[in-house]
Amino acid sequence: MKSMELYSEPFATTGNITGEGFRRLLGRPALGLLQTVIREALQNSMDATLPDQGPTVMLRSRVLRGEEFAALRGRVFAEIPKDADAALLQEELMGESLEVFEIADFGTSGLSGPTRADLVADGPEDPDFVNFMRNVGAARDTRHGGGTYGYGKTSLYALSRHSTILVDSQTTCDGLPVRRLMACRLGGTFAAIEGDVRKRFTGRHWWGSLDGTSGVEPFSGDEAIRLAGLLGLPERSAEATGTTIMIVSPRLDEEDDEDERLPVGPHLLETVLWNFWPRMCRDTPCHRKLSVSIDVDGQNVRVPDPEDYPPLDHFARALSDIRSGGGQIVRSQRPAMDLGRIAMVKGLRSDRNPAALRADSPFPKQASHIALMRPVELVVKYVEGEAFSDARFEWGGVFVCSDDDEVEAAFADAEPPAHDDWIPDNLPKGRSKTFVNVGLKRINEAARTFAIPLSASGQSEERGQSLATTATLMGRLLEGGSAKGPGRRSGGGGGGTTKRTRVSSPRFSRLEIDAGRKVAVFEADLSNDGRSPDLVLRAVPHLVMDGGIASSDDVDVGFTGQVLDLTVADATEPGESMAIGTMAGRVVCRVPVPDEAAIGLRLSLEEAGT
Amino acid sequence: MTRVLLLPRLNELGVMRIIDDVGNEMPTAKEVLDILDEHSSCLWFAPSGGSVSVEAAVDIARDIRQIAERHGFPESSDQKSRSAFDAEVTTWLGDQDILSTGEALRDDVWAFLSSALLADVVSWRFPDRNLERFRGGVRNAFQRLWIRGVTLDLGPGSVDRWQLVHALSEDAMVQIFERASLAGDRKLARAIASAWMVTSGRIGRGRMEEVMRAATKMIRLRNEIIDLGELEQSVLKREIEKIFFRVAGVTDDFPASRPLATADS
């Protein structure tokens, strides 16, 4: 069996895009690299979905050893490019094993069309192979597709420590089934002697079959099938179309130290769920539904439904609302246009899946986010809003922009190459820019005010300072006032202690028998500053009902309102009142008690003669 | 009962909105829904403890409306048909499992039923349209009937389960159920209702208003020195009857007083 041959692209007289430039096109995505790769790859898979059937995607991380590793070393990378960094690849190939990360999709069209960029596509297929393996920056052609540009594929190279990937695709060309296997590397520009001439090279390299004239073609047919088998790539047949991308020596995390490395399984699981849950819900239509399997070193990682993976349960409900025509319409006034729908769901914060408890989990501890998407239902990003102050509750929302062509195109055009944001500044001034600006403004408003409605926060953008201090100061102005309204002021100002004449509330002390009658004895305390010697102490007994004062009307329980005697300090007088003069100290009051009721007592100080 | 249904709750502000906004006309269900749309913050549910069910509230309202229709709603309304309506709603509410969860103890649940779903029925039952009939509380159009129903229910096993509900006059009901100290103790409330029935059998309903007023006052005074609710059922019944007989001036011919069959006695 023959090995793959290396083709390094020389600069054309007109100039080419270099490997470095190709990689730089990706920009700096807001998301982590692995997340970008998975988003990009899964979006591509979904765009390539065959009609009437949702795609199946397998994410697999494994280590090539033995025969598989030998096939990679001997049959694929038999020739090593001459650029400076390629030494690292060579060094790794000298070892015992090599880690790879594979993204394989099934139920998709594969990388179809011609294999060369200079041929016009005249078959029924899209020129996917050329776009994916050779061209960069081709505008999208899937209507309302997820990937608006092809730039994102450079993230696949960036994930490889050697900027090298291997692609195996079962697809069709001119209506006939074909198998294609090819490797590609994006290195730095370099100069080398080829023949007798020193030439400059772009840094783009392909491994395949040299066609003798202008470049390189993929392995195809039996050759490709046999080599794919040796490498342990997923089996495919003419019916099982789809693409496997193998990323050589992936940077699955930035820690090179083995002990520091985080488990890949949960990381993959969460990345998939956090970004693709709208396509994985139980009520996602069949033809859009994405099935994902995750396999790490031979261990299968179970992928739960989003409904069972809090906080996605809330988001799934919100999306389901929108799908069934619910939610609120987000409108732009000038120009008048429906921009999309927004739905928000609040609920109890459920316990998280153990995978979501990692420190670097993308899942918030308490959700207060709105997921933004176009009708294609891929999450572009999440807008974080105000969380409920009570941590037992959380909320999630979904915004889906309108499927009106103009509006959808506006939001799609606002996406940077990695599709992870909506940036109105990407758009020229005009209707489109207004749509995206207004849409984002409404979404941000909704996120900010869902947990704390405007009415509660005082309609103001920012909550002002607390008014407590001012209120306290104003309260002091009232201090000298009286709750009694106009009339005699009790006590008096002046310096020194404010001693006053007053009597405390009576306390029930005991029951006695006096001349065959039951008598209740109440006690109280009288303080006297001596300034009002004319005051009279008056005792008024009453019936007690439901814990309060009751009149004795309507009922005959033998209650007369009589008081036997009053004692202040050592002086005792019969009847219900006595002048206090300058007396002070303990007050004792004796009141007869009827058989069938309880009594209470009121004590008051009154001016003599009233 | 397998699950708790959480009913919609309408706060005081929501009641005021509905009653104010519709002015003097009988609010239609559509008008009320429009108002609630605008003031959705007035409407809420218990945050946990069961499953939210607007349907349950709608079902209750539908059944109450049907009872009202049997008694002349919305065309005719006289004292007799209104009290017959009260009695039927009382027994119906007293027998609803859905309301035995604690939701019915909340004023705002009743406020929602009365103000949002049944405002027209309330306006028919109480033509003066006093606010206290719409908002929750002891005077709410339906809450007062529900508490009567569950308190005076003698149990499905008794010979005449709703005899107290049917026997007592509106005045007697008000005397019991607008006094928290009496209505709050089911045993005591039932003993009073039963004594009322026995006494009215002896002296006629005509004099009962004054007797009831004095007797309940005596009972409340007595309750300060003896915890009546703690008395054994038959002793309590005797005590309360004795008070009624004394106030009414009837000779106490115990043990000939008519026994009262209750499911839990």
The predicted-structure confidence for A424-455, as pLDDT tens digits, reads as follows 888 888 888 999 999 999 999 889 888 876 54
| Residues of chain A with C-beta less than 8 angstroms from the C-beta of B225 | 596-598
Question: Residue A235 and residue A237: Cα distance in Å, rounded?
Answer: 7
| Domain edges within chain B | 1-152, 155-265
pLDDT classification of A10: cutoffs 50, 70, 90:
confident
Q: With an 8 Å Cβ cutoff, are B41 and A545 in contact? A: no
Question: Residue A488 and residue A504: Cα distance in Å, rounded?
Answer: 20
Of the candidates B24, B17, B123, B121, the one whose C-alpha atom is nearest the C-alpha of residue B69 is B121
The distance between the two most distant Cα atoms of chain A, rounded to a whole number of Å, is: 140
Structure tokens at A204: 């783009």
pLDDT classification of B152: cutoffs 50, 70, 90:
very high
**Which of left, alpha, beta for A255 (phi over 0: left; psi -120 to 50: alpha)?**
beta
DSSP string for residues in B80-142: HHHHHHHHHHHHHHHT-GGGGGSGGG-HHHHHIIIIIISHHHHHHH-TT--GGGTSSSTTSTT
Place of tokens 């025969």: A67
**A452 shares contact with chain B (CB less than 8 Å):** no
Give per-residue pLDDT as tens, A160-170.
Answer: 888 889 999 99
Of the candidates A13, A253, A45, the one whose C-alpha atom is nearest the C-alpha of residue A169 is A45
For residue A538, what pLDDT is reported?
Answer: 92
Q: CA of A604: how far to CAs of A32, A283, A322, in Å?
A: 79, 76, 70
For residue A582, what pLDDT is reported?
Answer: 86
Give per-residue pLDDT as tens, B170-227.
Answer: 999 999 999 988 998 999 999 999 999 999 999 999 999 999 999 999 999 999 888 8
Question: Residue B154 and residue B174: Cα distance in Å, rounded?
Answer: 19
| Residues of chain B with C-beta less than 8 angstroms from the C-beta of A455 | 41
Of the candidates A72, A21, A75, the one whose C-alpha atom is nearest the C-alpha of residue A248 is A72
* Domains parsed from chain A with CATH numbers: 5-252 (no CATH), 312-449 (no CATH), 502-607 (2.60.40)
Higher pLDDT, B106 or A29: B106
Question: Residue A198 and residue B136: Cα distance in Å, rounded?
Answer: 94
Length of chain B equals 265
Structure tokens at A37: 């790769």
Q: What is the mean pLDDT of chain A?
A: 81
Cβ proximity of A573 and A581 under 8 Å: no
Whether A29 has a pLDDT exceeding 70, the answer reads no
Name residue A104's beta-bridge partners: A58, A244
Whether A31 has a pLDDT exceeding 70, the answer reads no
**A520 shares contact with chain B (CB less than 8 Å):** no
Whether A485 has a pLDDT exceeding 70, the answer reads no
Structure tokens at A434: 């207004």
The amino acid present at B213, given as its one-letter code, is R
Cβ proximity of A568 and B231 under 8 Å: no
Query: At A372, which helix (H) or strand (E)?
Result: strand A368-373
The alpha-carbon gap from A435 to the nearest alpha carbon of chain B, in Å, equals: 27
Average of pLDDT values for A367-375? Answer: 93
pLDDT classification of A135: cutoffs 50, 70, 90:
low
For residue A395, what pLDDT is reported?
Answer: 92
Question: Residue A87 and residue A77: Cα distance in Å, rounded?
Answer: 12
Q: What is the separation of C-alpha B54 from the centre of its chain, rounded to a whole number of angstroms?
A: 22
Question: Residue A379 and residue A290: Cα distance in Å, rounded?
Answer: 14
Higher pLDDT, A13 or A301: A301
Question: Residue A451 and residue A470: Cα distance in Å, rounded?
Answer: 28
Name residue A600's beta-bridge partners: A542
Q: Write the residue in A453, A554, A598 that is nearest to B214 by C-beta.
A: A554
Q: Write the residue in A348, A455, A597 that is nearest to B221 by C-beta.
A: A597
The distance between the two most distant Cα atoms of chain B, rounded to a whole number of Å, is: 64
For residue B201, what pLDDT is reported?
Answer: 92
Of the candidates A76, A359, A363, A108, the one whose C-alpha atom is nearest the C-alpha of residue A227 is A76
For residue B220, what pLDDT is reported?
Answer: 92
Q: Which of A12-21, A147-156, A255-264, B154-163 has the highest mean pLDDT?
A: B154-163
Give per-residue pLDDT as tens, A378-397.
Answer: 899 999 998 888 888 899 99
Q: With an 8 Å Cβ cutoff, are A550 and B217 in contact? A: yes
The alpha-carbon gap from A544 to the nearest alpha carbon of chain B, in Å, equals: 7
Cβ proximity of A271 and A155 under 8 Å: no
| Residues of chain B with C-beta less than 8 angstroms from the C-beta of A550 | 217, 220-221
Above pLDDT 70, what percent of chain A?
Answer: 84
Prediction pTM value: 0.52
Give per-residue pLDDT as tens, A546-586.
Answer: 888 888 887 778 888 889 999 998 889 998 899 888 888 89
| Residues of chain B with C-beta less than 8 angstroms from the C-beta of A544 | 221, 224
Q: What is the separation of C-alpha A458 from the centre of its chain, rounded to a whole number of angstroms?
A: 26
Q: Which residue of A has its CA nearest to B181?
A: A546
Average of pLDDT values for A447-467? Answer: 61
Q: Which residue of B has its CA nearest to A552?
A: B217
- Residues 6 or more apart whose Cβ sits within 8 Å of residue A299: A265
Question: Residue A363 and residue B181: Cα distance in Å, rounded?
Answer: 54
